[in-house]
Chains A and B, each alone.
Chain A
Amino acid sequence: MGDSQYSFSLTTFSPSGKLVQIEHALTAVGSGQTSLGIKASNGVVIATEKKLPSILVDEESVVTNVNQMSLLQVQKIQHLTPNIGVVYSGMGPDFRVLVRKSRKQAEQYNRLYKEPIPVTQLVRETATVMQEFTQSGGVRPFGVSLLVAGYDDKGPQLYQVDPSGSYFSWKASAMGKNVSNAKTFLEKRYTEDMELDDAIHTAILTLKEGFEGEISSKNIEIGKIGADKIFRVLTPAEIDDYLAEVE
């Protein structure tokens, strides 16, 4: 990929044993909008801030059909499969690329085995892609961390995947600008036997902790998956209901 100065890998080791580009990628993640996920006993919820840069942004929201897919121009929470959803902190365009690759990998697995891909397998394959971009010439690491929420035969699962390609299973986690406050809050509030609705309330309260301005259904996004194994992004109306319950 190219001659001259840029054909070596940008992720070459520094004398201290670090991969500096990955550190910088994590910084990019750390300055992204806050997102978080909570694993309940009967499901998983993921949520993120969705601060639009100006009031002039045309945020058209149309709720269509029974599947409740809202066609927001900027949708941060995405499906990877009907039973796995994902949210990110960091660079949106990099997220789009990863979502596309992951969806393809999930569908290839399904085509081969005629079985939905287990959450751990999809997370591993996505993490492998991210790792490849830390060891190839002429590319840079992805500037996103992902929170993958899914429900399969092993029950509800929540995974975080970092730009380095490492992945961790979490009971509850946060990423982005407000990560340390959010994590402290979650550590205090998390209980093992939490149910999905409690988890959604806790998620909203955690987002509220570091929120600049008024929290509303227009500037947060919430996705959930329960024992029905169908991942859904909540409509603004549903978010309003949860917000009202939290007040």
Chain B
Amino acid sequence: MSIFEYNGSAVVAMVGKNCFAIASDRRLGVQLQTIATDFQRISKIHDRVFIGLSGLATDVQTLYQRLVFRHKLYQLREERDMKPETFASLVSAILYEKRFGPYLCQPVIAGLGEDDKPFICTMDSIGAKELAKDFVVSGTASESLYGACEAMYKPDMEAEELFETISQALLSSVDRDCLSGWGGHVYVVTPNEIKERILKGRMD
């Protein structure tokens, strides 16, 4: 069994029309046993950049703390927020620093860049960036997520439709994966507001 599958996770991000959505499951497990059903995998870096981390839960938490630390210092020094592309480059560099003893996480980064253009990317545990124009997935349910997103996604969706699409994709994918599930956590971000919603799916 791979260490990436120890805790179980599912994270997905999608691009809409001047908005993006990022969603994750809520299960924290120790192999077959479920420990928590409210685990936070997605975190806000600032109002326009979110990061979702799948993989080993301890690394998820530590990496998030390190990234928030770096971003706070950046904000103080440069007196501005980081652009999502810049943040993604930073995450990639931080992951590669540990090339021979990596953080066992796969991040999904989503943000609104200049002119409110949505940006999403994912990377592997040692920082290989993968930019996408439509959606990115990560976690133990990633194969199902790829299939569901490919089928359900269409470009230029507005915020409400994007929410429906990403929720359906997430819930149907985690239902096929025993290690992730127990509901969903969805953030839909537009230039004016951040909408956070909890989904109730098959609670197993």
Contact = CB atoms under 8 A, between A and B. Distances in A.
A68 B150 CA distance: 50
B31 interface: no
A114 B88 CA distance: 9
Main secondary structure of the interface of A (DSSP, over half): helix
A115 B89 contact: yes
A112 B78 contact: no
B77 A112 contact: no
Interface in B86-134: 86, 89-90, 93
A113 B86 contact: yes
B175 interface: no
Contacts of B177: none
For chain A, which range describes its interface: under 10, 10 to 19, 20 to 34, or 35 or more residues? under 10
A114 B86 contact: yes
Interface string A54-74: 000000000000000000000
B188 to A, nearest CB: 27
Interface in A73-124: 111-115, 118, 120-121, 124
Interface residues of B, number: 8
B85 interface: yes
Nearest to A117: B78
A115 B74 CA distance: 13
B183 to A, nearest CB: 36
A185 to B, nearest CB: 34
* Nearest 3 A/B pairs, CB to CB: A114-B89, A113-B86, A115-B86
Given A113-B89, A114-B85, 16 more contacts: A112-B89, A112-B90, A112-B93, A113-B86, A113-B90, A114-B86, A114-B89, A115-B83, A115-B85, A115-B86, A115-B89, A118-B78, A120-B78, A121-B77, A121-B78, A124-B77
